Amino acid sequence: MSMAGLTVPYVDADLEARVRAGLEDVERQLVTAVASRFDFVTETARHLIDAGGKRFRPLLVLLAAEFGDPTAPGIVQVAVIVELTHLATLHHDDVMDEAVLRRGAPSANARWNNTIAILTGDYLFAKASDRMVELGLEAVRIQAQTFSRLVEGQIRETLGPSEGEDPLEHYLAVLADKTGSLIATSARLGAKLAGASPEVEKVVTEFGEKIGVAFQLSDDVLDIASDASQSGKMPGTDLREGVATLPVLLARQSKDPADERLRTLLSGPITNDDDHAEALALLRAHPAMEQAQAIVRQWADDARQTLSMLPDIPARDALDALCDIVVSRTG
């Protein structure tokens, strides 16, 4: 099954059929969920939905639900909710990053303006919260706690590491909050709503957080290594803003005198186009890229190890395959 570059190999035809049908249902419900009585609000809310996406979080909901009753009420609904929450954060991220592309299309802030993008993000989160209420108080609390972690992670990223804190450790902690938390919650709620055991729920939550960090780290590598047609956004966006992602943090650690020019370029935002192109070229050829790929593999392997505690069913094989997919994206 392909999803904007992700291909999940399924060993079980019934599982593939259920997941495919579930994701198709998610697409339909996403469009319905954001409809407004004001046409312009509907247009802005659908902007990123129509641009497509990997739907990684809904996929995890559906696969985690396989460890209980995958036909239980609310499974597809919670898949829609976590995707709406994710889309809401993307709108806000693009404003903070001054991004011009998202999923191969102009970002909302570029197409309209920052105010519209921020308000659209707020609207999407409101729609997600409204739907979550139908799933009960515990689900609402989990969503609220997750969104709190998302915001805390964004604030910590904005502030940067504190004095004496290792920048790489700080960054990984930020990713666990910003990205890992919602992916973990996706798996957790899928298992919970399907009636899986507390033990299974705990394991898939741990898996979700680890594979979520791995997935974001692989995005860091792709942001440097790929072009806009592959990643759907402008390469090196974070370089322009001076946001230190994994390859940048690793390159900054280099003591090699030959890297002095690269370290200088990576010391802050790169607003000059020529400097930006030079930094990208130097970074792409730097050993930091291979080091970053190795770190992605380690996180994916750590996620894979948690799966041994799950029942041996086809969904476990699919989750295992996700680990390989995350790693292969950086190759």
The fraction of the chain above a pLDDT of 90, given in percent, is: 67
Q: What is the pLDDT of residues 302-327, one digit of tens each?
A: 999 999 999 999 999 999 999 999 99
User: What is the reported pLDDT for 103?
Assistant: 58
Tokens of residue 202, six digits: 């705990």
Conformational region of residue 232, where left means phi above 0, alpha means psi within -120 to 50, and beta covers everything else: left
Has residue 126 got a pLDDT over 80?
A: yes
- In the numeric block, the tokens 């005198």 are attached to 257
Q: According to the model, what pLDDT value does residue 6 have?
A: 57
- The CATH number of domain 11-194 is 1.10.600.10: yes
Q: Which of 96-110, 136-150, 218-232, 234-248 has the highest mean pLDDT?
A: 136-150
How deeply is 16 buried, as exposed, middle or buried, from its count of CB atoms within 10 A (0-12, 13-18, 19+)?
Answer: middle
Q: Which amino acid is at 118?
A: I
Residue 11 confidence (pLDDT) above 90: no
Distance, CA of 331 to CA of 294 (rounded, Å): 10
Eight-state DSSP code of residue 252: H
Reported pTM: 0.90
Sorted by sequence, the CB contacts under 8 Å of residue 225 that are 6+ apart come out as 284, 289, 330
Task: Reply yes or no on whether the pLDDT at 3 is more than 50.
Answer: no
Residue 2, beta-bridge partner list: 7
Q: Positive or negative CA dihedral for 271, 275, 276, 279?
A: negative
Q: Indicate the pLDDT class of residue 233, thresholds 50, 70 and 90.
A: low
**Stretch 188-205: mean pLDDT:** 98
Taking residue 131's Cβ as centre, other Cβ atoms within 10 Å add up to 19
- Which pLDDT value is given to residue 289? 95
As a whole number of angstroms, the distance between CA 296 and CA 267 comes to 24
| Count of CA atoms in the C-beta half-sphere (13 A) of 110 | 16
| pLDDT, the chain, mean | 89
The predicted-structure confidence for 39-93, as pLDDT tens digits, reads as follows 898 998 888 888 878 899 999 999 999 999 999 999 999 999 999 999 999 888 7
Range(s) of the chain covered by CATH 1.10.600.10: 11-194, 197-330
Q: How large is the average pLDDT for residues 266-282?
A: 90
| Least confident stretch, 31-45, 134-148, 233-247 | 233-247
CA-wise closest residue to 242 among 272, 280, 261, 268:
268
Task: Give the architecture-level CATH label for domain 197-330.
Answer: Orthogonal Bundle (1.10)
Q: Are strands 101-102 and 6-7 parallel, antiparallel or unpaired?
A: unpaired
For position 99, what pLDDT does the model report? 65
Binned at pLDDT 50, 70 and 90, residue 243 comes out as: confident
Mean pLDDT of 162-166: 92
The angle subtended at Cα 147 by Cα 245 and Cα 188, nearest 5°, is: 95
Residue ranges of alpha helices (H) inside the chain are 13-33, 39-50, 56-65, 75-97, 108-111, 114-133, 137-159, 167-175, 181-193, 198-225, 228-231, 237-241, 246-252, 260-265, 273-284, 287-306, 314-328
> How far apart are the C-alpha atoms of 189 and 135, rounded to whole Å?
10
Q: Is the CB of residue 48 less than 8 Å from the CB of residue 102? A: yes
Q: What is the pLDDT of residue 241?
A: 76
pLDDT of 23 higher than 90: yes
